Structure 1
């Protein structure tokens, strides 16, 4: 591992007593091995690490054939300024039957999570398990944090289909 050189033999004249200076030499071979082991370990652990990303379903840009979505299978969530959350059932595109907009919050009890769970349970009873479609509409005053919080709620509640769509002027009026 390490060796100490004690110096050579004294040749020639003797001029007095001198202190012997000893030099040390450290063998770095085990440190190189340790470095390669650490590099290998970190390379393997980063490749095994799962990426935690959120999948986002965006509507198709097909103007000729718009997507048809039943009101009984959909929930629209409106995000406004100052952490305001409103929602209504359906997609709200029928002017003869305007949606009934209700306010909610991000609270754990009686908040938007309970609304999503209730709607999901009703959709499962009437249709299939993953038929619920949640439309998330944020106005220009909504914070990015609120959009991420709603998307987190989709993951927590195992909502398979949701989309962030542009807010309509009618929906903006509901937020005021």
Structure 2
């Protein structure tokens, strides 16, 4: 008999798959889809008028219009002010002038009324919001003067709107 080489047997390795990474990824995917489904649901904002609670002393539906005052700036230092909306103003449009006895007095009195009104509603410190609308014919100095008046009186909520003047406001600026 011949010397045959012995067969070398290889050792069997224990075949074990590590699934830790796969479990982590699947949990991350589950959490991701749960969050995206929750965020995709439509949200509804409920408008509470107080009518269903029998609220008698609730403010009228458009009570925030009391807080807005519009200042129209025209040519030749013309100023027109009104409170509320242009088609249904709370205070009728009126012409005034620059200075201590003009626009400053109007702004101060209106702001005082609104602060008292807001305090009565339980929201103290909410003064007027002024919308400044310079026309194409007004000058830059008039705009600076109005902003100075805001600073003097302490009105912090104001906005300058350019290139938007409805027909009603154009007629107010054109009238004498």
* TM-score for both structures, normalised by structure 2: 0.55
Take 2:159 and 2:98, find their aligned partners in 1: how far apart are those partners? 19
Alpha-carbon separation, structure 2, partners of 1:141 and 1:108:
24
Comparing 159-168 and 140-149, the one that deviates more: 159-168
After superposing on structure 2, the runs of 4+ consecutive aligned residues of structure 1 that deviate more than 4 Å are none
Aligned pairs for 1:1-176 (under 5 A) are: 70-92=64-86, 95=87, 97=88, 100-109=92-101, 111-127=102-118, 128-165=124-161, 166-176=164-174
Deviation at 1:158, TM superposition (A): 0.6
SS at match of 2:170: helix
- Is the CA contact 1:105–1:112 (under 8 Å) kept in the aligned structure 2? yes
For 1:108, what is the secondary structure of its paired residue? coil
Question: What is the number of residues matched between the two proteins?
Answer: 105
Within 1, Cα distance between the matches of 2:147 and 2:85? Answer: 18
Instruction: Report Cα offsets for 1:22-51 as digits up to 9, x if no partner.
Output: xxxxxxxxxxxxxxxxxxxxxxxxxxxxxx
Conservation of the 8 A alpha-carbon contact between 2:70 and 2:82: yes
Please give the secondary structure, in 1, of the residue aligned with 2:158: strand
Cα offset, 1:167, TM superposition = 2.2
Do 1:73 and 1:132's aligned partners in 2 also have CA atoms closer than 8 Å?
A: yes
RMSD: 1.8
Give the structure with the higher percent helix. Answer: 2
Question: Is the contact made by 1:87 and 1:104 (CA closer than 8 Å) also made in structure 2?
Answer: yes
Q: TM-score, normalised by structure 1?
A: 0.55
Distance of 1:155 and 1:168 partners within structure 2: 27
